Amino acid sequence: MLTEFIASVTARLSGGRAHPLTHTWSTKRWIQQNARLDADEQMQELLAQINSFNASPKINSASLAAFLLLDVSAHRCIREMTETYLAGNRTANKAVLKKLDDAARWIGATYELFYRAHKAAKPAIRNDGQLGQVLLGMFRYWNLQNRVRLFRYDDLVPALWQMTSNLFRYATAAGVHRLPVYAPHRDGKLATIEGEYANLLLLARLASGSFTAQEIEHASVLLNECSDKLRLRADEPAHATFALDPDSLVGLVLAHGVTVTDRTLFLDPEPLFAHIKKRLADIAADDAGDALNRKVRIAWLERLAAHWAPDYRGVPRRAERQPADIPVALVPGLHSIHRELLAEMENAGEFWDTLIRSGRWRIVEASPLDCRIQFENESADQFPVGALISMRKEGAADWQIGVVRRVKRFEGNRIELGVEMIASEVKAISLWPDNFRDPIPRSGAQAPDSAALVALYLPSTGAILPAPLRSLILRHSDYKTGLLVYHISGDSRTSLKLGEAIEFGRGWVWSRFTVESKTAQHPGATAPNFRPGMTTRLPPRLPPRGKSS
């Protein structure tokens, strides 16, 4: 108490010139002074103050209380910066991600200073509540570092597992691992060290390179909602569960067949599955929202549940791959693919032929159904998991189309993509809504952008089973089951009815369709020169497409 009183008096007598981490009074003053700064600027100022404190720390109860108060502001900045990263462009993303990583390391280092003071038996950090808050903060910022690495598709650091395991053992021995303490990141709600550690362990299970940054962040929020119910215990449950070996360099593993010691811990994921099941039921019961959005959310939760199953072993490959060395050209994204395919018709592919010969992208392993592509010194952000890509091999006339299923980053800026091919031929076309009644321009005239729907047509000649013989890829906003659209080629107008979606991707939907009718276009109103290829023959009905990695 005397230390806190002296720190308070010193801060007030200094007229606000005292370091923000000397006392809560000076911290509140600093927060008010910087309230008008945006999140990026405020974080820069905050890290400068934390860095100066770390260089010459004054560890006591007053500085811990001040630091916890400052951490509330840090959490708000981190949340805003994370949202900026998830919605930002590729150039801005690199800078934001580095700032998030710096924040995790520097703020985590401050918590570690308080932890070391406790280990040195300093009287200032001795009660259980203070120790619990310090250890919780260390796990929180390790968790943030972990998320940043997952955002970048980086591998996790093996040493992290021993560090976190040792710290959790220390918390358990001190009896604070299940002690609810004030958590700066939970808006006043209490949290436990055990819950935060369980979050870190389960989130690391998604380090397969097959989840986007947005999905990783949503998964973190989902885990945070049920972290209080997750338990790490020494006795193994009767059903399938995870095991944690504190001496290994890996995280959670399937408990079946593990050599059990007196240090082995088990994590039961059943409370997490119950929470996901409740979320699924809530989505199914909410018929007021957008049906497509509900389907996407349900598919994502089901995929998460599969990855968090203790016995999950991944999705087997659809075909055996063989080593290869084939230069290719890649175009990511529905709009870019559509634009480049139309340009290809005009310039005979000269630009892409030159780019292919540069060896910028290379297939290093391939099968008729999927492939592994490597490139260097380029951001992986333009090829995220779930991205639609079009690919043309050296010497090939046609573009193929596939979906990025996995991204892996190696040392030396080398990126690797795992791509599942969905068609060996793709055509860029435009469709019009069935209710569009304005005259369609003649050949050579520009179609109205507000009316035409950007679409990719996957013809029967390029179908890869078990996909339907003919299908379409459209934007999310243009798709609806049962929607009537029409395509015009020459003097023919073909009316199409969109069927059930085969897959929902990042901004695109892959859909079946049926041909409803084919009629002559009204004289004097013909479509622009899009390649023909639609026929009135309906594709045979096939079972839903299975997922692949």
* Neighbouring-strand partners of residue 447: none
Judge whether 143 and 200 are in contact, CB under 8 Å. Answer: yes
User: Around 549, how many Cα atoms within 13 Å sit in the side-chain half-sphere?
Assistant: 15
In tens, the pLDDT along 206-229 reads 998 899 888 999 999 999 999 999
Report how far residue 540's alpha carbon sits from residue 476's, in angstroms, rounded to the nearest whole number: 25
* CA 36/CA 39 separation, integer angstroms: 9
- pLDDT, position 521: 61
Phi, psi angles (nearest 5°) of residue 119: -65, -30
Query: What secondary structure letter does DSSP report for 317?
Result: P
pLDDT at 159: 87
d(CA 166, CA 131): 15
pLDDT less than 50: residues of the chain: 1-16, 441-449, 524-549
d(CA 389, CA 326): 17
Say if CB 60 and CB 124 are below 8 A apart: yes
pLDDT at 434: 74
Residue 510 tokens, joined: 């892959």
pLDDT of residue 93: 79
Rounded CA-CA distance 370/365 in Å is 9
- What local confidence, expressed as pLDDT, does residue 450 receive? 53
Q: Which residues contact 240 (CB under 8 A, 6 or more apart)?
A: 254, 255, 256, 309, 310, 311
The pLDDT assigned to 442 comes to: 44
Rounded to a whole number, what is the distance in angstroms from the first to the last CA of the chain?
59
pLDDT of residue 411: 74
Q: State the amino acid at position 178 in one-letter form.
A: R
Strand partners, 428: 456
Alpha helix positions (H), 14-127 = 24-33, 39-55, 61-87, 90-119
